[in-house]
Structure 1
Amino acid sequence: MNAHPVDSGVSPAVAELIRDGVRAILEAPPEWIDEINSAVTDGAGMEAIAGDEALLTVALEINAGNLAHWAASNMADPGARVPVAITDHTRTYIRDLARRGLDSRALDSFRTAQNVAWRLWMEICFSLTDDATVLRELLEVTSASIAAFIDDTVHELAELIDLARTELAGDTHAERRAAVALVLEGAPIAQERAESQLRYRLDGPHTAMVVFGDAETGPDDVETVCAAVMEASGVSGRLTVMAGASELWVWLPCREVRAEGAVADHRGVRIAVGSAGDGREGFRRSHFEALTVRRLLARSSGARRTAHFDQARLVALLGEDDLAARGFVDATLGELRHADADVLECVRTWFGAGCNASVTASRLYTHRNTVLRRLARADALLPRPLPTNAVHVAAALELSAWLD
């Protein structure tokens, strides 16, 4: 470990100032935390982590935890060397970094956060005393304490990530991910070689999925949901690539994927499904369709847990520009967008029933006259009469269901 001259026997005056500074940290304005978080996300080598919501959330939590740990230690023993705090949460994060192919350079965020935190700490120190001698001792002691803590932390985490990478070196996951990337890019990799590395046939039917969780979702939850989809779809094999801390890219050798019931007991997990395809082209197309649906699901409210590309074709086409899509919905629906849920459901069902009021009433288990009243209510809320603008209204309602 790197050694720094941290002296726990600081003068009583400086010890009390350190405690005062720690209290100021604990009462720091939100802008300070935002600035530290920005330094972490903008740091060199953080691109892969910043692009993974689950991984980034854990990284920021660890940085916040380290700050709190340093503060608590200095409240108890001002200026003393702070022991490294390695939690189970931290170990899981390190393993996820290794699985993503990242090395110790991914720990540079700790250095970036240290620089910002030190600048903010100096602001606190200069506000605590005007005595130049005491101020100098305060800065020297805390500078050594912070530097030693970060050095010790990065050193220990680097050893953990190297160990995790060594353990994974014998795993076929990295090889499998590389082969998948070649197939998705359309590279001229031989079929036999690709199938050998993937342990998956490319000449049959494929349906791709993206199974992903929120910041609170663990890898076991995503894996459990995947297994449930396989069982419901009647398949025993799959190709899986770990795309993030709680995200899997999956291909199932079948044409019909039944995903709806798999997420019932896992509220943080969502499933995006592409359309079925054959051969390499079907393998690629289904995956990119699943990624499109994944983006739409991530942008929509949490109520929609699963979606197939066939359900989202129109939205994928019209909703590429989020601002333009919302403008179209607002201009087309007007006050109808904020109507009661039963009115909106009635209009959507009416379109799905071929604009037939009797069929709509049957599907909604209500009376035909009730349907007619709700349609009249919807018509009154629209900027333009429904009969003259039905196509636009139907498209806007579909977009609205995904945007809200």
Structure 2
Amino acid sequence: MPWPDPSPRVKELIRRGAEIVLTAPPDLFDEVDAATFSAVDMRPIAEDPELRAFSVRSTHANLIHWASANLRKPGAPVSANTDEPIEAARLITGRGYDEASLDAYRLGQNVAWRRWMRIAFDLTSDVDDLREMLDVTAQSISEFVDATIAATKAQIALERDWLTRTRDSELRGVVALLINGDRIDSRAAENALGYRLVQTHTAAIVWTTVAAPRLTELERVAESLARQVEARERLRIVASPGTVWVWLGGADEALLRTADKAIGAATDLQIAIGSTGHGLDGFRVAHLDALSTQQAMSRLDTDHRVATFADVEGVLLLTKDADRANRFIAHTLGALEHSAPAVREAMRAYLHEQCNASRAAERLFAHRNTVLRRIQRANDLLPRPVQDNPLNVAMALEILYWRGGKAGATAEPGISRH
């Protein structure tokens, strides 16, 4: 909205009103404070002496800041109160509260506005002047509070980033000692990490390669993964702007196959899941296996969103020499290598299910006859029938699977799904 330029008469009214606020008796602030802490959401802050005192100070300071600005330049825009955000951010983040705590500013604004209207009605009975005065000051107060809240939120983001980097730097130091096998007191390590080492661990890495990663999204997926696999405990460390390390204590291993649900719509994220082990050695090996899984997914340039160490352990060995792996695939699969993905995936599922076409159809959510036709088509494309070379065919198809997208998503031209 364009900023209104009030008439000289209204400017004088605003100036006089600001003077009344600045010289008001304590009951003005008492009314604002009572309304601020009456809201249900504000109860935790109202019951914390330090946070309550801060909220009172900041609300009073905002009122005085706005009134002082209007005493100097009545009706002019009022800049954000930048003296408050630094203290607010440190207190809110240090106590674990979120931006909802800033609702105190809105509640204070509502009460202050009601008092301001009473002041305005006492100053003039001219309807036109009153309307103009309230219009100008309503916009002024609203934009001032918006700007102050925005400045405080920005400061909270900076404070959280600093706390995260400081905390995770310390945690990475403890984890480095554990991963390297250095001598460290396990009780002291547990206290530092806030995570028990004498339990079963499954390690995972949530990461992205986008140019501007959203750390909050990575952390959200890490937390979602912990819930998805019903972990009793979790340790989460920011390893870099685009990578979060996770240890899941007491996770249900059977649920690891559903880990892709943790990602949801975040299509630019991937999860590498390591092995599961117990105690200090399990903590270390599980993470190293998660790293190997991540490296395999990266090297193969796969677009699969989730992989476990069990999925790619064999592929890791088979693809250490990329040229030899390419020759192996070409020699083993022949024309099948470049066939429709659905045909390759039907053969892969068939071999995974120990050459049982019915179970392969269930695995692919496809009709059994459709799968049988695809298997026959795949067999026709192989240099040797699958029954003569099942192990090599399975290994070659596995490498191709992890190098690309999910093959079963695309049907072969000319073959119905039913």
Give secondary structure in 1 for the equivalent of 2:396: helix
1:115-130 equivalences under 5 Å are: none
Query: What is the identity, as a one-letter code, of the residue corresponding to 2:178?
Result: V
Query: What is the identity, as a one-letter code, of the residue corresponding to 2:225?
Result: V
Distance (Å, rounded) in 2 between the aligned partners of 1:333 and 1:303: 22
Give secondary structure in 1 for the equivalent of 2:166: coil
Q: State whether structure 2 residue 227 is matched by structure 1 residue 245.
A: no
Query: What is the identity, as a one-letter code, of the residue corresponding to 1:387?
Result: Q
Question: Structure 2 length normalisation: TM-score?
Answer: 0.53
Query: What is the identity, as a one-letter code, of the residue corresponding to 2:319?
Result: G
Contact 2:202 2:249 in 1 (8 A): yes
**Paired residue for 1:220?**
216
What are the Cα deviations for residues 351-379 of structure 1, in whole angstroms up to 9, with x where unaligned? 12211234434554656554443333222
Assess, with a 3 A threshold, how the Cα gap between structure 1 residues 365 and 224 changes in structure 2: closer, same or farther.
Answer: closer
What are the Cα deviations for residues 251-290 of structure 1, in whole angstroms up to 9, with x where unaligned? 1112334521111211111101112110011001110111
**Paired residue for 2:176?**
181
* Deviation of 1:387 (Å): 1.8
Distance (Å, rounded) in 2 between the aligned partners of 1:263 and 1:362: 24
Distance (Å, rounded) in 1 between the aligned partners of 2:165 and 2:364: 57
Assess, with a 3 A threshold, how the Cα gap between structure 1 residues 339 and 250 changes in structure 2: closer, same or farther.
Answer: same
**Paired residue for 1:328?**
328
Contact 2:207 2:269 in 1 (8 A): yes
**Paired residue for 1:378?**
378
What are the Cα deviations for residues 225-246 of structure 1, in whole angstroms up to 9, with x where unaligned? 1121122222364222222111
Instruction: Give unmatched runs, 5+ long, in structure 1.
Output: 1-162
1:160-179 equivalences under 5 Å are: 171-179=166-174
Give secondary structure in 2 for the equivalent of 1:188: coil
Assess, with a 3 A threshold, how the Cα gap between structure 1 residues 170 and 250 changes in structure 2: closer, same or farther.
Answer: closer
Distance (Å, rounded) in 1 between the aligned partners of 2:164 and 2:347: 56
Contact 1:255 1:277 in 2 (8 A): no
Distance (Å, rounded) in 1 between the aligned partners of 2:164 and 2:313: 40
**Paired residue for 1:208?**
203
Which protein has the larger Cα radius of gyration, Structure 1 or Structure 2?
A: 2
1:3-402 equivalences under 5 Å are: 171-215=166-210, 216-235=212-231, 237-256=233-252, 257=256, 258-301=258-301, 303-364=303-364, 368-402=368-402
Contact 2:290 2:309 in 1 (8 A): yes
Give secondary structure in 1 for the equivalent of 2:377: helix
Distance (Å, rounded) in 2 between the aligned partners of 1:246 and 1:363: 33
Assess, with a 3 A threshold, how the Cα gap between structure 1 residues 167 and 384 changes in structure 2: closer, same or farther.
Answer: closer
* Deviation of 1:384 (Å): 2.3
* Deviation of 1:176 (Å): 1.5
* Deviation of 1:345 (Å): 1.9
* Deviation of 1:346 (Å): 1.4
Contact 1:207 1:274 in 2 (8 A): yes
Distance (Å, rounded) in 2 between the aligned partners of 1:366 and 1:252: 34
Question: Structure 1 length normalisation: TM-score?
Answer: 0.55
Query: What is the identity, as a one-letter code, of the residue corresponding to 1:271?
Result: I
Contact 1:217 1:268 in 2 (8 A): no
* Deviation of 1:319 (Å): 2.1
Give the number of equivalent residue pairs. Answer: 242
Instruction: Give unmatched runs, 5+ long, in structure 2.
Output: 1-157, 405-418
Q: Which of structures 1 and 2 has the larger relative contact order (alpha carbons within 8 angstroms, sep 6+)?
A: 1
Query: What is the identity, as a one-letter code, of the residue corresponding to 1:200?
Result: Y
**Paired residue for 2:40?**
none
- The 10-residue stretch of structure 1 (390-399 or 233-242) with the greater mean CA deviation from structure 2: 233-242
Query: What is the identity, as a one-letter code, of the residue corresponding to 1:240?
Result: R
Assess, with a 3 A threshold, how the Cα gap between structure 1 residues 242 and 365 changes in structure 2: closer, same or farther.
Answer: closer
Give secondary structure in 2 for the equivalent of 1:274: strand
* Deviation of 1:320 (Å): 2.4
Query: What is the identity, as a one-letter code, of the residue corresponding to 1:206?
Result: H
